[in-house]
Chain A
Amino acid sequence: MQTISQKQKSIHIVTPNSFLAWIGKFLLILIALFALFVLAKNLIAKPTLFAQNVLDGLKLGFVYALIALGYTMVYGIVKLINFAHGDVFMVGAFVSFFAVEFLGLHVWPIAVFPDINPLLANVLGTITIILLSMVICVLLAITIERVAYKPLRDAPRIAALITAIGVSFFLEYFGLLEFVFSARFIPYKRPFEEMTWYIKDGIHQVEAGVTTPPGSITFSNIFVVIVIATVLAQLFLQYLVRRTKIGIAMRATSFDKPTARLMGINVDQVISFTFGIGAAFAALGGVLFAIAYPSIKTLMGVYPGLKAFVAAVLGGIGSIPGAFVGALIMGQAEILTSAYVSTPMRDAIAFSILIIVLLIRPTGIFGEPEKEKA
């Protein structure tokens, strides 16, 4: 008797009220249809403006992708949402700021080789800045993992999650101190000059002080750099995870740690390595974000961090292609919302997506239902 009544009780709890669920689905379909209608209307009315928005959405989405990869990889291996990841991204931006502003590190190629091709000098200088940011962020992330997360590896997951939130707050409020990064917006000096082109009857460079003709689509070298860097990062990661020994060991460790140890895999090293890769991508994202939106502040990592987290959940947390696709969708959702609905809605849309994904398909686009392992 007792077991039967318990069973009924639990069934009652997990089964959503079908009428409410039906209304919910109906509302979602209405919203989706409305969104499609708004998009279609604007696409037809002003196709070039629409294309411009899509391009801007891509730029944002690609940066989110770099951050989302770190969330998804770390989750894949230690089942932890590393909430400090957005702050590592911020540190990446600040390191590049100091390197450019105070060290002038981006001009070393010209200083060392005065006859160097200016484009090559820019590329080398920027890569140097990015590498420096990566190194610092990798060290930071590995330290965070060793100090804050590793002691909790066998603790309940919620303990590590709360610790991650704590680490995030620590980094943010430490950064807010006047003698660290302060709370101010800081204008960011790019390691290279922005150049803009417009597309209309071919591609033309935009001259300073000249307005582009109506109906043209503009893009900049920054956009090109972001796309190239993100695509390269994604390809590198696919190669790493599919083809290299350490990458296969990452997947093995993610699936079953004790058995991975029986293979001779040093699980602690593999976990550090994973945090390191995630942090390197976050650093790259931080530098590119600062270059694209050249004003930085200590809390700059909070929203991009949360949105990249939503992107990772949307794509299916733990899935690398998922993070990429999720981030591109997030970028579009945000830019199109701010263009065609209202600008303040751009943050709301991100978290609406999170709620909808969790309601409809918690495993995300590429995610598989998680099997509980012993």
Chain B
Amino acid sequence: MLLEVKDLNVYYGAIHALQGISFDVKEGEIVSLIGANGAGKSTTLRALSGLIRPRSGSISFKGENITLAPAEKIVKMGMSHVPEGRKIFAPLTVRENLEMGAYIINDRSEINRMTERVFRSFPRLKERINQLGGTLSGGEQQMLATGRGLMNKPTLILLDEPSMGLSPIMVEEIFRIIKEINAEGTSILLVEQNAQMALSISHRAYVLETGRITLAGSAKEIANNPQVKEAYLGI
């Protein structure tokens, strides 16, 4: 098991945002986490990557308990988190943003190789290499955020709404790239508003409702579940 979460509880002050959730991601999988606004999807990812400390429960990654590990250590272990809302470093150029993505890598040639890899997926970034991150369009920022998350060669990448704000064509494109990344051996935990798209490329999925997992199964099962159809797929 690559990632195993057991009975995780997270609070923001008095707000009980995650109420004992358990799930897992196996090597090579794409797993989706779907749920309404405020369900706790982003909170889950923040707990995994060490940005917030869970009150109880456990997270194990590659067999090691990382429940209370600092974010820097978790990145070094091979988990990369592309946060919600892109979070590009606005005063840094595209190149510098990518270099920060590769912060934990010291080998220069390795960084150059990863940069080329990212440019293959997002040729637009290459054209804008010396532009400031803050001056990119929303869609370009999303590409940069995803590309930056790939720079440290993660074994598991957490993607929080990678299609947000993208045009329909770019949405197709980003999902194609996600599948490509997965085919190259990176496992993916995907949070999406666009449940239909997410389920179409996932192996498995979990449904999160106000801090609890209410449904789990293969992507097909979830997509065919009547309640899911009604609530998330708009069918």
Across the interface, B51 reaches (CB within 8 A) one of A249, A252, A258, namely A258
B70, B96, B100 pick with most chain A CB within 10 angstroms: B100
Does A46 belong to the interface (CB within 8 Å)? no
Does B122 belong to the interface (CB within 8 Å)? no
Across the interface, B72 reaches (CB within 8 A) one of A251, A252, A259, A261, namely A261
Residue of A nearest to B133 (CB): A255
- Asked if residues B75 and A262 are in contact (CB atoms below 8 Å), the reply is yes
How far, in Å, is B47 (CB) from chain A's closest CB? 13
How far, in Å, is B40 (CB) from chain A's closest CB? 18
**Residue interface mask B74-104, A partner, CB < 8 A = 1:** 0110001101000101111000100111011
Chain A residues lying within 8 Å of B71, measured Cβ to Cβ, are 261-262, 264
Chain B residues lying within 8 Å of A260, measured Cβ to Cβ, are 100
**Residue interface mask A228-253, B partner, CB < 8 A = 1:** 00000000000000000100110110
How far, in Å, is A153 (CB) from chain B's closest CB? 14
Q: Is the interface of B mostly helix, strand, loop or mixed?
A: loop
Interface size class on chain A is: 10 to 19
A266 to B50, CA, bound (A): 12
Q: Is the interface of A mostly helix, strand, loop or mixed?
A: helix
How far, in Å, is B71 (CB) from chain A's closest CB? 4
A249 to B100, CA, bound (A): 7
- Asked if residues A264 and B76 are in contact (CB atoms below 8 Å), the reply is yes
- Asked if residues A255 and B91 are in contact (CB atoms below 8 Å), the reply is yes
Interface residues of B in 47-62 (CB under 8 A from A): 49-51
Does B67 belong to the interface (CB within 8 Å)? no
- Asked if residues A255 and B89 are in contact (CB atoms below 8 Å), the reply is yes
A113 to B149, CA, bound (A): 55
A49 to B87, CA, bound (A): 55
How far, in Å, is A317 (CB) from chain B's closest CB? 15
A251 to B95, CA, bound (A): 14
- Asked if residues A245 and B50 are in contact (CB atoms below 8 Å), the reply is no
Across the interface, B100 reaches (CB within 8 A) one of A252, A258, A266, namely A252
How far, in Å, is A318 (CB) from chain B's closest CB? 10
Does B187 belong to the interface (CB within 8 Å)? no
A45 to B81, CA, bound (A): 68
- Asked if residues A245 and B103 are in contact (CB atoms below 8 Å), the reply is yes
Does A256 belong to the interface (CB within 8 Å)? yes
- Asked if residues B92 and A252 are in contact (CB atoms below 8 Å), the reply is yes
Does B152 belong to the interface (CB within 8 Å)? yes
Interface size class on chain B is: 20 to 34
A7 to B75, CA, bound (A): 47
A248 to B98, CA, bound (A): 11
How far, in Å, is B113 (CB) from chain A's closest CB? 17
How far, in Å, is B130 (CB) from chain A's closest CB? 12
- Asked if residues B99 and A245 are in contact (CB atoms below 8 Å), the reply is yes
**Residue interface mask B139-156, A partner, CB < 8 A = 1:** 000000000100010000
Chain B residues lying within 8 Å of A249, measured Cβ to Cβ, are 100, 103
A271 to B49, CA, bound (A): 21
Chain B residues lying within 8 Å of A263, measured Cβ to Cβ, are 75, 100-101, 103-104, 148, 152
A249 to B96, CA, bound (A): 9
Chain A residues lying within 8 Å of B99, measured Cβ to Cβ, are 245, 248
A255, A258, A263 pick with most chain B CB within 10 angstroms: A263
Chain A residues lying within 8 Å of B103, measured Cβ to Cβ, are 245, 249, 263-265
Given A245-B99, A248-B99, CB of A264 within 8 Å of CB of B75: yes
How far, in Å, is B147 (CB) from chain A's closest CB? 13
Chain B residues lying within 8 Å of A265, measured Cβ to Cβ, are 72, 100, 103
A345 to B89, CA, bound (A): 44
- Asked if residues A251 and B75 are in contact (CB atoms below 8 Å), the reply is no
A259 to B50, CA, bound (A): 11
A116 to B103, CA, bound (A): 45
Chain B residues lying within 8 Å of A256, measured Cβ to Cβ, are 87, 89
A261, A262, A263 pick with most chain B CB within 10 angstroms: A262
Chain B residues lying within 8 Å of A245, measured Cβ to Cβ, are 99, 103
Residue of A nearest to B71 (CB): A261
- Asked if residues B104 and A251 are in contact (CB atoms below 8 Å), the reply is no
Interface residues of A in 250-305 (CB under 8 A from B): 251-252, 255-256, 258-266
Chain A residues lying within 8 Å of B70, measured Cβ to Cβ, are 261, 266
How far, in Å, is B78 (CB) from chain A's closest CB? 11
Given A245-B99, A251-B92, A259-B87, CB of A264 within 8 Å of CB of B152: yes
Residue of B nearest to A255 (CB): B89
- Asked if residues A262 and B81 are in contact (CB atoms below 8 Å), the reply is yes
A252 to B89, CA, bound (A): 6
**Residue interface mask A159-188, B partner, CB < 8 A = 1:** 000000000000000000000000000000
Interface residues of B in 152-174 (CB under 8 A from A): 152
- Asked if residues A261 and B89 are in contact (CB atoms below 8 Å), the reply is no
Across the interface, A261 reaches (CB within 8 A) one of B51, B92, B152, namely B51
Chain B residues lying within 8 Å of A266, measured Cβ to Cβ, are 70, 72
Chain B residues lying within 8 Å of A251, measured Cβ to Cβ, are 89, 91-92, 96
- Asked if residues A264 and B83 are in contact (CB atoms below 8 Å), the reply is no
Residue of B nearest to A254 (CB): B91
How far, in Å, is B118 (CB) from chain A's closest CB? 14
The 7 closest A-B pairs by CB, nearest first: A264-B75, A261-B71, A264-B104, A259-B87, A263-B103, A263-B100, A264-B103
Q: A248-B96, A263-B103, A264-B104 are in contact. List 4 more A-B contacts (CB 8 A).
A: A251-B92, A262-B83, A263-B101, A264-B76
What are 19 inter-chain pairs, A to B, with CB distance below 8 A? A248-B92, A248-B96, A248-B99, A248-B100, A249-B100, A251-B89, A251-B91, A252-B92, A256-B87, A259-B89, A260-B100, A262-B51, A262-B81, A262-B87, A263-B152, A264-B72, A264-B103, A264-B104, A264-B152
